[in-house]
Chains A and B, each alone.
Chain A
Amino acid sequence: MWKYFLPLVIFGLFFLLLKTGMNDIMEGKNVNELPSPLIDKPAPQFELPSLTDPSKTVGNASFANEIAVVNVWATWCVGCRQEHPFLMKLAKSGSVPIFGLNWRDNQAEAQRFLQQLGNPFVDSAFDADGRVGIDWGVYGAPETFLVGADGTVLYKHLGPLNQALWDEYFVPHIDAAGNTK
């Protein structure tokens, strides 16, 4: 007799699953977003020619022993233009150094972009063929990483940054790192 209630129970559980999924979406979750498997792992090692001065290199050594932001950008990326003013502001405040990873871009155009709109980066690495991007699990620009002083990836953000997002997601990690120093 009670077996006839089984479909109801099964459906109930399933409905809960869908409801929870929808709740997440209502809160702004995007199903196309990929969480990074690099969190709490050592940042991938790289050393690339600098975008602005190809005789120099940019790599993990550039920001060793300090907390730093690594921002993946390109001139063809609309969101990168959107967040650029904020990056300039962040760089000016001097709280955390910003390093750029210029991803799959045209070197001349990228240099021109920085000249025209300003350069918030301590320096930018020029990743012409995207190999380093792949190592960092980059799949779309802009992406912004927060790397701790010990070289661990603390946080990854997808999409353009702004003050609100910075305050909500990056600052807590920075404060925590500051406190443990």
Chain B
Amino acid sequence: MIPEIGHFALILALALAILQGVLPMIGAHRNNVAMMSTARTAAVGQLVFVIISYACLTWAFLQSDFSVAYVANHSQLALPTMYKVAAVWGGHEGSVLLWILLLVGWTVAVGRYSRSLPDSFVARVISVLGLLSVGFLLFALLTSNPFDRLANPPADGADLNPLLQDPGMAIHPPMLYVGYVGFSVAFAFAIAAMISGKLDREWIRWTRPWTTMAWIFLTCGIALGSWWAYYELGWGGWWFWDPVENASFMPWLIGTALIHSLAVAEKRGLFKSWTLMLAIAAFSLSLLGTFLVRSGIIVSVHAFATDPSRGIFILSFLGIVVLSALLLFAWRAPSLDSDAGFSPNSRETFLLLNNVLLVVATIVVFYGTLAPLLYEVLDIGKISVGAPWFNKVFLLPMLPLVFLIGIGMHTTWRSHKGSLLTTRLLIPAIVSIVLGVLIPGVLYGRFGVMVSVGLIAALWVISTSIIEPLRSWRRAEGAARITPAVLGMSVAHMGVGFFILGVTMVSAFNVETDMAMRAGETVEVADHTFELRELREVQGPNYSAIEGVIDIRKDGDYVAEVRPQKRQYLVQKNWMTEAGIEVHWNKDLFIALGEQLGNDTWSVRIQYKPMIRFIWFGALVMALGGLIAVTDRRYRSTATGAETT
């Protein structure tokens, strides 16, 4: 009964989405207030039914209703409750439902926080979001219904994929989707602007916070995915350039470019058509990502097992959405060109550089991800483009970008007075170079060019980012304080610096050893000793495991005990590795069990990973910077109307 209610609720949601997609748009065209006002109501109604539907599916999982095919495939009786809840998005159909839920959630939020926007504009935005809803609801109902029943329900389910039975799993997909879907708002804003033909300062001011919010979630979502892969997959890597990882990274790169482009648009009214293009591109890449993961067209550990017919549906949807947007663009963009100028020495130039380099980086990732497909379709051959390629070529646009951050932040608009390389930047430059060259050798025992380049870049970005906040802090009482916008920018850039620091150090000084060990033996890796005290059997709720108890010591002093496990999940019978990780601010000690080699002997992989936490810490700081920036007063409307800068 409940699954049927869930199914029916989706159909009702679709009906409302259609209304939401059509009526307000016509209303905006005819200036019909009644029709336009259906927008917010329809969106809320749609949300109610989608929530009901989602709740029904969650209920089916909690009740272990294996007559629902999706539940039977992704759950089992002994699955811990927390994972029964998370399992809702553990497979294709449920994740589509989650996507829809978040899309409507964003829509209602836009409806809620848009009181001071013109009715016709809001109507168009919500209408566009409604049409997107229609697309995804049709996708769910026609090809990916999570409520399909099984004629002969099994006694117990097939269990959730053990890789997904983990807290990181509980947060990564929702967080990522919030960001992914959030770019639909900027997209809808862009479409609304193009339909109305108006793209003014108001539009830019309203688009900025929504874009930044989506970006914040996407940043966290990607960082969570990386962190989760690190400790859950057991090989100690944190980014593999897998096609699906790239599918989430490309919208992030474009989203970052969009945030910077909006800055120029708001300040000088320039780059407007380019900003529109980026807004369209960011969401298009989100849709493309969805397509890649579910169509079966690429080889990936992330790929959902799915029907090609689903791939065709999303591809068609992608085609319609992007085609319409680009047609609108070709029509409206020419009129947005302007005749304002700026000097080559100006903040505008640096933001232009930022955009060019980020777009080049996106094109590079895009190219590498899709080149194998291109070769296959053209029948040239079957090739692989993997991490070795990406790691090298990605630096080409990114290294210059990173160094330019330091200068660009301290450049003024229109025409920068004086030299770009001011005395203000001198100390950071000297400090970065000196420390960057010395630290590797002094602290880690080895000098090197690449590691120093990376370290100099990281220290440069961090030290130049801290200048403005420091100056504000040291200014006299009563003088102008640093605005959230500038503080946010500084913090976000510092996050970039921390990220580069982590990546550089762990790439350069990572130590990895595999060895055969039996209980009682001790090995030494990277100045630490690891003693395998015992190997024992343990039982979990739905798995049994062999656990190694390992004592870590440094210079004779006890550091910690870790307990890596090799688990066998009872239903799916695969073996999973749960690494034992000892976390410090400046290093991780990562231990994992490999295979049983003989009587009581196991192969053990021990890794020393310096500064790796900075990778995710840096990403979090980036997101924090975004959050600070969003709180800036200029984005909040007063009772009498929006403030101007």
Contacts and interface: CB of A to CB of B under 8 A. Distances in A.
Contact of A18 (B280, B315, B323, B329): B315
A40 interface: no
A34 B381 CA distance: 10
A8 B297 contact: no
Interface stretch (B371-379, B398-406, B483-491, B636-644): B371-379
B334 A35 contact: no
Contacts of A26: 308, 312
Given A8-B323, A11-B323, A25 B296 contact: yes
A25 B295 contact: yes
Given A8-B323, A11-B323, A32-B299, A24 B330 contact: no
B382 A34 contact: yes
B327 interface: yes
A31 B322 contact: no
A17 B374 contact: yes
A24 B315 contact: no
B326 interface: yes
A1 B334 contact: yes
B311 A22 contact: yes
B315 A17 contact: no
Contacts of B326: 7-8, 11
Given A24-B377, A26-B308, A18 B297 contact: yes
Contacts of A19: 315
B303 to A, nearest CB: 9
B382 A22 contact: no
A90 to B, nearest CB: 29
Contact of A31 (B273, B280, B291, B296): B296
Contacts of B334: 1, 4
If over half of A's interface residues share one DSSP class (helix, strand or loop), that class is named, otherwise mixed; here it is: helix
Contacts of B295: 22, 25
A21 B377 contact: yes
A17 B322 CA distance: 15
B319 interface: yes
B370 interface: yes
A59 B143 CA distance: 51
A35 B376 CA distance: 11
A129 to B, nearest CB: 17
A18 B322 contact: no
B280 to A, nearest CB: 8
A31 B376 CA distance: 9
B277 interface: yes
Given A7-B277, A22-B297, A25-B311, A35 B319 contact: no
A139 interface: no
Give the most central of A17, A20, A21, A26: most B CB within 10 Å. A21
Contacts of B315: 15, 18-19, 22
B333 interface: yes
A21 B322 contact: no
B453 to A, nearest CB: 34
Contact of B297 (A11, A31, A34): A31
B549 interface: no
B378 to A, nearest CB: 9
Nearest to A19: B315
B370 A17 contact: yes
A21 B323 CA distance: 19
Interface residues of A, number: 20
Contacts of B385: none
Contacts of B373: 17-18, 21
B298 interface: yes
A8 B299 contact: no
A4 B323 contact: no
Q: Number of contact residues on B: which range applies?
A: 20 to 34
A17 B378 CA distance: 9
B338 to A, nearest CB: 15
Contact of A7 (B291, B319, B329, B376): B329
Interface in B43-98: none
B130 to A, nearest CB: 23
A5 B315 CA distance: 21
A31 B311 contact: no
Nearest to A35: B382
A30 to B, nearest CB: 8
Nearest to A16: B377
Contact of A4 (B298, B318, B330, B382): B330
Contacts of A17: 370, 373-374, 377
Nearest to B297: A21
B242 to A, nearest CB: 14
Contacts of A15: 315, 318-319, 322-323
A22 B382 CA distance: 16
Interface string A21-63: 1101110000110110000000000000000000000000000
A11 B315 CA distance: 12
B308 A22 contact: yes
A30 B327 CA distance: 34
A52 to B, nearest CB: 31
Contacts of A18: 291, 297, 315, 373
A42 B315 CA distance: 42
Contacts of A8: 323, 326-327, 329-330
Contacts of A7: 277, 280, 326, 329-330
A66 B434 CA distance: 73
B148 to A, nearest CB: 22
Nearest to B312: A22
Contact of A20 (B308, B323, B329, B377): B377
A36 to B, nearest CB: 10
B456 to A, nearest CB: 37
Contacts of A21: 297, 373, 376-377
Contacts of B318: 15
A79 B32 CA distance: 65
Nearest to A9: B326
A5 B374 CA distance: 23
A19 B377 CA distance: 10
B123 to A, nearest CB: 26
A19 B315 CA distance: 8
Contacts of B376: 21, 24, 31
Closest 7 A-B residue pairs measured CB to CB? A8-B326, A4-B330, A25-B308, A5-B330, A20-B377, A4-B333, A21-B297
Interface of A: 1, 4-5, 7-8, 11, 15, 17-22, 24-26, 31-32, 34-35
8 contacts: A8-B327, A8-B329, A8-B330, A17-B373, A18-B291, A25-B296, A34-B382, A35-B382
Interface of B: 273, 277, 280, 284, 291, 295-299, 308, 311-312, 315, 318-319, 322-323, 326-327, 329-330, 333-334, 370, 373-374, 376-377, 382
Given A5-B330, A8-B327, A22-B308, 10 more contacts: A4-B333, A7-B280, A8-B326, A8-B329, A11-B284, A11-B322, A17-B377, A21-B297, A21-B373, A26-B308
